[in-house]
């Protein structure tokens, strides 16, 4: 497995653990729609949270969350819409980003709730 894939998996594990510790119920991980993937689908209270996890091994190229482009937002919204319709859910949806930067053996994790609004 490529090194960046291992880093991404490690980031997703950290993100899922963090979200669970903050009271999120993890519903799905790595849920796929067509060729797109939602890293984590979780519930927090009455909201369905679509969570994109961005992990980097340093901040030389900026913050990880900067990698969530408008195009990525549109595809996450389309995948979330498919997920909700497929399950006939009537829920409020929000889009979060978990940003993780590794600095050697330590890391910084940041949750950005309501990170974007693709339906606006």
Q: Over the stretch 83-99, which tens digit does the pLDDT of each residue have?
A: 999 999 999 999 999 99
Mean pLDDT of the chain: 91
DSSP, collapsed to helix, strand or coil, labels residue 120 as: coil
pLDDT in tens, 63-83: 889 899 999 999 999 999 999
Res 120 pLDDT > 60: no
Mean pLDDT of 6-27: 94
| Range with the poorest average pLDDT among 9-23, 56-70, 99-113 | 56-70
Please tell me the distance from the alpha carbon of residue 116 to that of residue 120, in angstroms, as a whole number.
9
**Stated pTM of the model:** 0.91
- Topology (CATH) of 3-116: Trna Endonuclease; Chain: A, domain 1 (3.40.1350)
- Across the range 19-46, mean pLDDT stands at 95
Can you say how many angstroms the Cα of residue 58 is from the centroid of all Cα atoms in its chain?
19
Q: Where are the domains of the chain?
A: 3-116
């Amino acid at each position: 497995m490529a090194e960046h894939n291992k880093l991404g998996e490690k980031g997703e594990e950290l993100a899922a653990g963090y979200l669970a510790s903050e009271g999120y119920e993890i519903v799905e991980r790595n849920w796929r729609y067509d060729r797109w993937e939602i890293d984590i689908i979780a519930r927090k209270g009455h909201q369905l949270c679509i969570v994109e996890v961005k992990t980097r091994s340093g901040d030389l190229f900026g913050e990880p969350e900067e990698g969530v482009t408008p195009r990525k937002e549109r595809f996450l919204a389309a995948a979330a819409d498919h997920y909700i319709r497929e399950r006939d859910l009537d829920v409020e949806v929000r889009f979060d980003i978990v940003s993780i930067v590794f600095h050697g053996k330590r890391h910084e994790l940041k949750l950005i709730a309501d990170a974007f609004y693709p339906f606006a």
